[in-house]
């Protein structure tokens, strides 16, 4: 694991407007390459807001954010898109893109305005599809993909950006067990290759299965952050969700029961 964080927040707060309570309060966090960080909490806890701050879409009301050692304002939008990729929770595809053409959208940060993708871009998109296990049927329309395949396609599109940091918003929330497992396996391979991965989830069992470190949010407040093994406890998870939660050891894993 790289000792130098690729993302670093120090006492970050964010408010959508002066007359509303802060959506984030005094959040500090370091994210390193080769590690998976789970942002965990109930709906409305501030998870997606924190993800958008990390992406540079939202500027902190106070505190500092560093991306690869520099503030987001030090980068152009194109440069930030080469550093950080996003996999959203939902996406409406307005056109009948083929799978390959959809993933080629991830090459936009490397193309001049109005330029068409070249052979190198197609090679990068094909490699991204292979990385997520979509090695056949590149001419299929995205609208015809299954839910699991579409989630993998969104990950591939982000990978086509060749980012150092991959952010995912609730990456398995609408998937069945088989497709959840497929996405988890892809994320493990990517982090083993050196990416920094941050994902949001309201599912502590998914976070326990994947994360090296965890961030617990409730009502925008940072309750705890640190190594997942020390964070996933009965006490911390009960405080995060506001209900009794039990953490039961089962071999090398823990079962989380509410």
DSSP string covering 191-238: HHTT-EEEEEES-HHHHHHH-SEEEEEETTEEEEEEEHHHH-SHHHHH
- Would you state the pLDDT for residue 251? 65
Distance CA 186, CA 177 (A): 14
Tell me the sheet residues that pair with 215.
Answer: 39, 225
Cβ proximity of 186 and 213 under 8 Å: no
CATH of the structural domain 5-101+163-257, one choice from 2.30.40.10, 3.90.580.10, 3.40.50.300, 3.30.300.30: 3.40.50.300
- Would you state the pLDDT for residue 244? 87
- Would you state the pLDDT for residue 73? 92
| In the chain, where the domains are located | 5-101+163-257
Question: What phi and psi, each to the nearest 5 degrees, are found at residue 221?
Answer: -95, 135
**Length of the chain measured in residues:** 258
Cβ proximity of 165 and 6 under 8 Å: yes
- Would you state the pLDDT for residue 256? 72
Q: pLDDT averaged over consecutive 10-residue blocks of the chain (258 residues)?
A: 80 92 93 94 90 93 95 93 92 84 95 91 96 91 89 95 95 86 92 95 88 94 91 90 83 67
Distance CA 119, CA 55 (A): 29
- Would you state the pLDDT for residue 258? 63
Which residues neighbour 60 within 8 Å (Cβ) at sequence distance 6 or greater?
9, 12, 13, 14, 24, 53
Beta strands 5-14; 62-67: pairing state: antiparallel
The Cα diameter of the chain in Å comes to 55
- Would you state the pLDDT for residue 255? 67
Distance CA 45, CA 42 (A): 5
Token pair in block for residue 31: 């994210």
Distance CA 215, CA 223 (A): 8
pTM of the model: 0.92
Distance CA 39, CA 201 (A): 6
């Amino acid at each position: 694991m790289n000792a130098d964080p690729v993302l670093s927040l120090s006492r970050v707060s964010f408010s959508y407007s002066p007359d509303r309570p802060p959506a984030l309060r005094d959040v500090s966090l370091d994210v390193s390459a080769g590690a998976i960080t789970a942002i965990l909490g109930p709906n409305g806890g501030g998870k997606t807001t924190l993800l958008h701050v990390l992406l540079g879409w939202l500027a902190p009301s106070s505190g500092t954010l560093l991306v690869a050692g520099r503030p987001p304002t030090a980068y152009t939008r194109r440069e930030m898109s080469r550093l950080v990729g996003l996999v959203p929770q939902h996406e409406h595809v307005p056109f009948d893109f083929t799978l390959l053409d959809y993933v080629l959208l991830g090459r936009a940060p490397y193309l001049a305005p109005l330029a068409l993708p070249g052979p190198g871009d197609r090679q990068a998109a094909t490699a991204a599809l292979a990385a997520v296990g979509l090695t056949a049927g590149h001419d299929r329309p995205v609208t015809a993909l299954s839910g699991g395949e579409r989630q993998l396609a969104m990950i591939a599109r982000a990978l086509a950006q060749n980012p150092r940091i991959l952010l995912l918003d609730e990456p398995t929330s609408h998937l069945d067990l088989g497709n959840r497992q497929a996405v988890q396996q892809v994320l493990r391979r990517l982090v083993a290759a050196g990416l920094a991965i941050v994902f949001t989830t309201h599912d502590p069992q998914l976070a326990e299965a994947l994360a090296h470190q965890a961030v617990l949010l409730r009502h925008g407040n940072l309750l705890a952050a640190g190594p997942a093994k020390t964070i996933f406890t009965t006490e911390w998870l009960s405080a995060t969700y506001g209900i009794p939660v039990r953490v039961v050891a089962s071999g090398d894993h823990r079962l989380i029961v509410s």
